[in-house]
Amino acid sequence: MRPLRWNIDAADGRARAGTIATRRSEIETPVFMPVGTQGAIKGVRFEWLEQEMDARIVLANTYHLFLRPGPETIRELGGLHRFNTWGRAILTDSGGFQVFSLNDLRRLTEEGVEFRSHLDGSKHFLSPEISMEIQAALGSDIVMVFDECPPGDAGHEATRTSLELTARWAARSRQCFDELQDSGSDTGRIENAPEGLDGRQALFGIIQGAGHFDLRSESLERTVAIGFDGYAIGGLSVGESKEVMYGVLDHIAHQMPADAPRYLMGVGTPEDMITAIGHGVDMFDCVIPTRNGRTGGAFTSRGKLNIRNAAYARDERPLDPDCTCSVCRRYSRAYIRHLYQAGEMNAATFISHHNLAFFIALMREARRAIIDGRYNEFAAAALAKLGDESASGV
Ligand SMILES: [Zn+2]
């Protein structure tokens, strides 16, 4: 028995349409995972994600929940699912990415990393073992190993040093994770798991190596040797050029084990996801639908628009005329712009809601195209339309 089951429902070239059965939900891929940094999707209630968008999995950030309210509080409250009421799958990151984004605030050793909280400057320590303990207390369904994320433009030598540390940390993560599963530390454990599943947390490994193809291959080999339930590509969308990102995807994604889900961490834009799916990636997450939503940025099938633009003051069209979400069915660009200009919080929630619905619908369309054997045509048409910003009325 395993913590999750992966099935490829259809393949078209390197693109795959699959199903990930987790202990809490079945996830059809390609999938976009909304990011709930603090255990909540900013501005969008879980009711909408469940009933309207039918999101099957969301992401939560270990770093933020570690600092506040703290893993012991969440453990006492019965785990993250019980605390935030989301009953479907949750993936938690390891906290590494956030800590390494702090730059001046950290001290790195073989053991782990010391850092100062961005909230109050207090000192904290994270290691593979502590990250596994926090993620067990949260009770997420998919746990990520604790890795070091080098800068996107890191040189060959620095990247090699970093990936060797990441490989040692992956082995320590695996060992501690297994011990925690055996000791019953996981608050999300399900006794009556779906058939064939053991009700335990799943653990994903992370492939690093920045923009160096040889190091990406080596990282993949070493990560697969340890053995995980799924594999992620880390260290992309961290400031490198599109050429580097797409080059790494073209090099590594199809070499990753076919019999496990492939997750591209922190990506991305609709264009990036469509490209990555073509290389064989199954899972994505990114904060941009809600982050941009709060500053007036809407993603549409014809590219991005910013609702602050005066051109929308009398525009009665919905954010995206091709979108069927409840915001687009009801509200006009002119009204949402008015709300934004007036500082009404509904402007942010409406645009965030639409953006998430758009990302999730885009993944559903991509899946349909893969199943129908027309992914290349779909991708070319979608990318051409996304680049056609004039059509959105900008
Ligand atoms: Zn919409």
pLDDT recorded at residue 394: 44
Mean pLDDT, residues 88-115 taken together: 89
Angle made by CA atoms 19, 25, 28, in degrees to the nearest 5: 25
Domains belonging to the chain, first-starting first, are 5-286 (3.20.20.105), 293-392 (no CATH)
Closest CA to 12 of 391, 381, 372, 274: 372
301, pLDDT greater than 60: yes
pLDDT 10s digits, 29-67? 999 999 999 999 999 999 999 999 999 999 999 999 999
By the 8 A CB rule, do 392 and 300 touch? yes
Asked if residue 193 lies in contact with residue 23, where contact means CB atoms within 8 angstroms, the answer is yes
Give distance in angstroms: CA of 326 to centre of ligand 1.
Answer: 7
CB 144 within 8 A of CB 158: no
Residue 357 alpha carbon to ligand 1 centre in Å? 6
Catalytic residue among 12, 93, 186, 315: 93
Q: Do 371 and 365 form a contact (C-beta atoms < 8 A)? A: no
Q: What is the mean pLDDT of the chain?
A: 96
Name the CA radius of gyration of the chain, rounded. Answer: 21
**What are phi and psi for residue 320, nearest 5 degrees?**
-135, 110
The DSSP result for 303-372, as a single string, is: EEEETTSGGGTT--S-S-TT--SHHHHH--HHHHHHHHHTT-HHHHHHHHHHHHHHHHHHHHHHHHHHHT
Q: Which residues contact 161 (CB under 8 A, 6 or more apart)?
A: none
pLDDT at residue 105 in the model: 63
Cα of 253 vs centre of ligand 1, distance in Å, is 31
Distance from the CA of 268 to the center of ligand 1, in angstroms? 18
User: Is residue 389 pLDDT above 80, yes or no?
Assistant: no
The CA 261 to ligand 1 mean position distance, Å, reads: 28
Residue 107 to residue 251: CA distance in whole angstroms: 33
By the 8 A CB rule, do 270 and 303 touch?
A: no
Separation of 381 CA from ligand 1 center, angstroms?
20
Q: How many angstroms is it from 353 CA to the middle of ligand 1?
A: 7
Of the residues 147, 186, 285, 315, only one is catalytic, namely 285
Active site residue 285: yes
What integer pLDDT is reported at residue 103 of this predicted model?
67
Query: What number is the average pLDDT over the span 238-243?
Result: 90
In this predicted structure, the answer to whether residue 246 has a pLDDT above a threshold of 90 is: yes
pLDDT tens-digit readout, 249-271: 999 999 999 999 999 999 999 99
Q: Output b/e per residue, 376-392; b: 16+ Cβ within 10 A.
A: eebbeebeeebeeeeeb
Residue 353: pLDDT over 90: yes
Residue-level pLDDT at 104: 63
Residue 266 tokens read as 């922190």
